[in-house]
Structure 1
Amino acid sequence: MTNKQLNNISKRSNKVSVAAVLILGSCFLTLNSYAQNKNKIVVVAGKPMTSTDSATVRQLFFSGLREKAIENNTLAFEYFDRVVQIDPQNDASLYELAIIKKAKNNYPDAQEFLEKAVTVNPDNEWYWAALADCYEKSNSFDKLENVFNELIRINPDKIDYYYDKANALYYLNKYDEALQVYKKIEELTGPTDDLLANRQKIYLKQNKVDLAAQQLEQMITADPSQIKYYLFLSQLYSSNNQPDKALKTLLAGEKIKSNSGLVHLALADIYRDKKDIEHSYNELTLAFAIPDLEIEQKIKIIGGYLPRLTDPNVKASALELSRILTVAHPTDARGYAIYGDMLLQNEKPKDAKQMYQKSVALNSQVYDVQEQLVRLDLGENDIAGAIKDGESSLSLFPNQAWMNYLVGVAWMQKKDYKKAVDYLKNASSLELQDKDLLSQCFSALGDCYHDLKDMKSSDEAYDKALTYNADNAFTLNNFAYYLSLRGEQLDKAAKMSKRSTELQPGNASFEDTYAWILFRQKDYAGAKTWIEKALTDDKDKSATKLEHYGDILFYLGKADDAVENWKKAKDKGDVSPVLERKINEKKYIE
């Protein structure tokens, strides 16, 4: 630090005299080796501090505290550093320097400052505690034992220091010494669960399973109503490949407290390990029925079933456990949501919908449940329900792209295409990454614009949909069909329609579209092949397909067969005036 810098410091404080600055400058010259040695502390022996030195030190120290308070640690460090240059044994400044270094994760330097501080003032608890933290952060466990000895000397009533010392000994593999510390703790506090757990850890490290078990058995004898000790002991046996002893312990605990969910869960684990699936499942049902057992733990267990739901037995078990969950926790929305999921997995959509409705009624803040509910509404063709549930959800989650899409589809099904367009456009503007959603949005927009007679916007939307998914079979089919109705871009329509039949072979509607496009291209033989495929795959033999078949047969010179199929179309419910004319005039009419 130059004299110019010192002058700047004096200007900031406004209280350091020029004489004091000159004195500080001369002190600095005598200690420049300290500053050049990376903060290594050098004790300066010699003349005692003058009253001016003391005043300067005091002023610099409080200036350092002020800068530290406003988080200007760089300047604070300068002030505390100047104090130590004047008074190398100023332990408070050494401590503050260490704290600043610790804040920058510079533990080696902080450690040096603190080692000096505790040398100067060995009875300051904060210094030793900070030094212990430095040693722990730098993995200097061999130095920790002495530090905790000093902390215990200073504050013998603080039990944490004994535990810290025992932990340090544990990391140094000094297990017997650590056990002696735990013995001392027990003299001070009496037996506790923490002591028990820590002793168990050491006994197991020493491979003294019997000794660990013996201690737990003594705890059970002393207080047989404490179920946790049975659980600890059973876990000890299970972890050391003694399942029979573990089972015996848990059964004893169950006799003491039959409504312990944790005991039933532990028994389920033991039986599962023994391949006794029936008993394991029975214990799970008992555990799930106990309200005191946290629902989070039960949900986690059901989650473990999900990868194995292809097994019918597993699926049925998960379904029943989910049902029990709602009985044990009737006011928790999560239980109904999980039960709804399992009902869907078991192909019971109506029941699943009821569960999702209950879940939403209890907690409307879970978006995923609401989306599932609206999907089920649409799946049941409950258009009014989809609109009601969807718009209610959007009032809470307006920026959910999928919900905007689903509500748009609902309005489209209701044939309110203008409202549908609004929601679908919202969905496409809210999502930029999900190509599947974007493809479906623009495809639906193409359908809406077609029904609104805006053919330009319809074609643009379909083209946009195909940029996100060139193999969206429904988009390919619809776009192709509408082009064929207008008699426009028939080659493009034929390619798209043919591709849709490749993507979904056996789809009668797609085959009918392709047949109709070939008809418009005057490829009557090809059209006949594909319309016959469509009629074969359509079990109901729809009126539209029968009429198309008649049209194609007429141009193949089979007028009587054509009239016969037109009549079949009429019998199926087609009452269009054009069809009536075809039948009466026995010829194709555009």
Structure 2
Amino acid sequence: MKKAAFLFILTSCAFSLLAQKKNKENKNGPVIVVGKVLNQRDSIQVKDLFFEGLHEKIVMNYVDAALNFEKVLEVDPSNDAAMYELANLKFDQNNTTEAESLIRNAVTVNPENEWYWLLLADIYKKTNKIAQLVPVLEELSKIAPKKEAYFYDKANAFLILRKVDDAASAYDEIEKKFGSSDELISARQRILMQQGKSGKLEEELTGLIASKPDEIRNYIYLSEVLTQSGNREKAIEILIKAKSVSSSNAMVRLALADHYRALKQYENTFIELKVAFADPNLDIDEKVRIVLSFFPMFTEMKARAYANELASIMVRVHPNEAKAFAVQGDVLFQERKYEQAQESYKKALAINDQVYLIWEQLLRIEVSRGEFQQAILDGNKALGIFPNQAALYLYTGIGYAQTRNYEKAASILKSALDLESEDNDVLLQIYSTLGDSYNALKKFKESDQAYTKALELDPSNSYVLNNYAYYLSLRGENLEEAEKMSKRSLEIDPDNASSEDTYAWILFRLKKYADAKKWIEKSLQGKTSNNATQQEHYGDILYLLGEKEKALEQWQSAKAQGSDSDKLEKKINEKKYID
């Protein structure tokens, strides 16, 4: 084993070694490895198992792939290639402990393999074992001395460990091997900041600006140094100078916007952001992040206006980016401009229909706006792409229920339940809509079960309490329980005309006619809530209280409002209440 590898083993708490050893020849002479001497039969078996493992990996049968590599190691415990493949599989499954053990054994067997050390480095990065990462990067820089990235990674690891002097030495090594670069200059500047030498760094950056006045990033970095030193005013001055050199530079504009926002100069912030957003080269994700940062301030009209205009610039500059239209839709949705939000979401989906949340938001709007046929069409499209999302089944089911296709509604809502969603709000609406649909289908047992499930999820849901109580009263079943639920719905949501009508009707069915009259009249006080059903109920109550002429007037009024009930027609013709 080479000395470098041996030193790394000592610093890494020693790799586990298998019991037996054999000699393996390579171009540099004999190397001590672990394992056993394989006979011809074992060699053939190992080869077959290994290639079968690779095949299973290619076709993404990862469990079978792992089993094959494990079988290789049973026959040939020192097979470093199988260790590497198995370690990769474990790493992909987030089993970093086993992955680390396997790949450490692999680099012990074959310390010259760059890919083995790279996997070990990835494991240490993921598990944040930075101290162990450093010697791995040293090995990589020895195996591949022309790869600059390994040297930078080592220097950065020293910085994370706050070993500033070691990092500085690592950067010196990079300059000797690869020469100076802008990246190296920036790295050394970070070291000066960590060492608290901001004055020296300010002097160095000022000199760079004087010698290279067109190099904008030096202005930006100097402004950051000044800001960290508590000199925000001077930082803004430097950025204004940068703006005079490159007026359209998005990074300068964003840096200025950050300063103005910190000073609560929101008009200036917005001016800078508008220029930055007009730059098509500024990353769209950064623009999205900025627009979303306005959302917590949407109680203020100016914040909404700023977000709206920035989103409009974004869709103009990035007409082929679904993200731009999706965020514009979110802004409009927050402003309750639902029709415009709907259009933005549709444009986003026309560009990229693979974003689930846009579909959900679109369906939510269509259902809330009463566009149930459109919700059915879009819901079925969305389900073709995302068949495992309960919310999509819910909104599509609501569309079917509201268009009176109750069989289809029940079927699709049952499919949603099969997904076993953990979102209680979605489940509540599924059971509630199922209750309504089953009742319409006269499947009363299933309807009651669905409402019961909904109330188990939320015992204080006034909508479910009202509907369940009303349908029980229509059937004349469990009227005492129905009265309790109806009364509870009114306590939760007082002055709801529909709930007041339900309570009045239940009291009527309980023959409490005087109380029923009081509640139906309260329901009818809200003119916008008056409807044919309430008018008909009022007529029924008046008739049984002996006010027959007034009852007839209410029945006729119900008919005039569009009721086509056969029973209502009969009441009017025969001038009497019909149960």
TM-score, normalised via structure 2 length: 0.74
1:232 aligns with 2:221: yes
453-462 or 336-345: which moved more? 453-462
DSSP 3-state at the match of 1:339: helix
Letter in 1 for 2:518: T
1:291 aligns with 2:280: yes
Which structure would you say has the larger RCO, counting Cα contacts within 8 Å and 6 or more residues apart?
2
1:319 aligns with 2:319: no
Deviations 1:64-88 (A, max 9, x none): 69899988889989999xxxxxxxx
Number of residue pairs the alignment of both structures matches:
501
CA contact (8 A) 1:61 1:79 kept: no
DSSP 3-state at the match of 1:589: coil
Residue 347 of structure 2, aligned match among 352, 358, 368: 358
> 1:390 aligns to what?
379
Shift of 1:426: 0.7
* Equivalent runs, 1:63-74 vs 2, <5 Å: none
d(CA) in 2 for partners of 1:455 and 1:413? 19
Shift of 1:272: 1.8
Letter in 1 for 2:365: L
1:282 aligns with 2:271: yes
CA contact (8 A) 1:507 1:537 kept: no
Shift of 1:586: 4.5
> 1:528 aligns to what?
517
1:552 aligns with 2:552: no
* Equivalent runs, 1:425-504 vs 2, <5 Å: 425-504=414-493
Deviations 1:31-52 (A, max 9, x none): xxxxxxx99xxxxxxxxxxxxx
Pair 509,274 (structure 1): closer, same or farther in 2 beyond 3 Å: closer
DSSP 3-state at the match of 2:294: helix
Shift of 1:223: 2.8
1:371 aligns with 2:360: yes
DSSP 3-state at the match of 1:437: helix
Pair 250,372 (structure 1): closer, same or farther in 2 beyond 3 Å: same
Residue 417 of structure 1, aligned match among 393, 401, 406: 406
Pair 484,194 (structure 1): closer, same or farther in 2 beyond 3 Å: same
> 1:246 aligns to what?
235
Pair 393,578 (structure 1): closer, same or farther in 2 beyond 3 Å: closer
> 1:216 aligns to what?
205
Shift of 1:404: 1.1
| CA RMSD of superposed structures (Å) | 4.4
Pair 415,248 (structure 1): closer, same or farther in 2 beyond 3 Å: same
> 2:9 aligns to what?
none
> 1:515 aligns to what?
504
Q: Which runs of 5+ in 1 are unaligned?
A: 1-37, 40-56, 81-100, 115-123
d(CA) in 2 for partners of 1:318 and 1:77? 62
Letter in 2 for 1:532: E
377-386 or 156-165: which moved more? 156-165
> 1:260 aligns to what?
249
Shift of 1:403: 0.9
Residue 339 of structure 1, aligned match among 325, 328, 346: 328
Identity %: 41
d(CA) in 2 for partners of 1:460 and 1:155? 68
* Equivalent runs, 1:89-168 vs 2, <5 Å: 104=101, 139=131
Letter in 2 for 1:422: S
d(CA) in 2 for partners of 1:220 and 1:519? 87
Shift of 1:571: 3.8
Deviations 1:289-335 (A, max 9, x none): 11100001111112222222222221221122111111111101011
Shift of 1:454: 2.9
DSSP 3-state at the match of 1:302: helix
CA contact (8 A) 1:233 1:249 kept: yes
d(CA) in 2 for partners of 1:412 and 1:432? 21
d(CA) in 2 for partners of 1:207 and 1:568? 84
Deviations 1:152-174 (A, max 9, x none): 9x999887898789779979989
Pair 399,567 (structure 1): closer, same or farther in 2 beyond 3 Å: same
Letter in 1 for 2:321: D
TM-score, normalised via structure 1 length: 0.72
DSSP 3-state at the match of 1:539: helix
444-453 or 268-277: which moved more? 444-453
Greater gyration radius: 1
Pair 166,398 (structure 1): closer, same or farther in 2 beyond 3 Å: closer
Deviations 1:470-500 (A, max 9, x none): 3332222222222222222222222222222
d(CA) in 2 for partners of 1:257 and 1:63? 65
Letter in 2 for 1:292: N
Pair 73,196 (structure 1): closer, same or farther in 2 beyond 3 Å: farther
d(CA) in 2 for partners of 1:446 and 1:60? 74
d(CA) in 1 for partners of 2:414 and 2:167? 69
64-73 or 379-388: which moved more? 64-73
Letter in 2 for 1:196: I
d(CA) in 2 for partners of 1:484 and 1:156? 84
Letter in 2 for 1:400: Q
Q: Which runs of 5+ in 2 are unaligned?
A: 1-13, 16-28, 51-68, 81-97
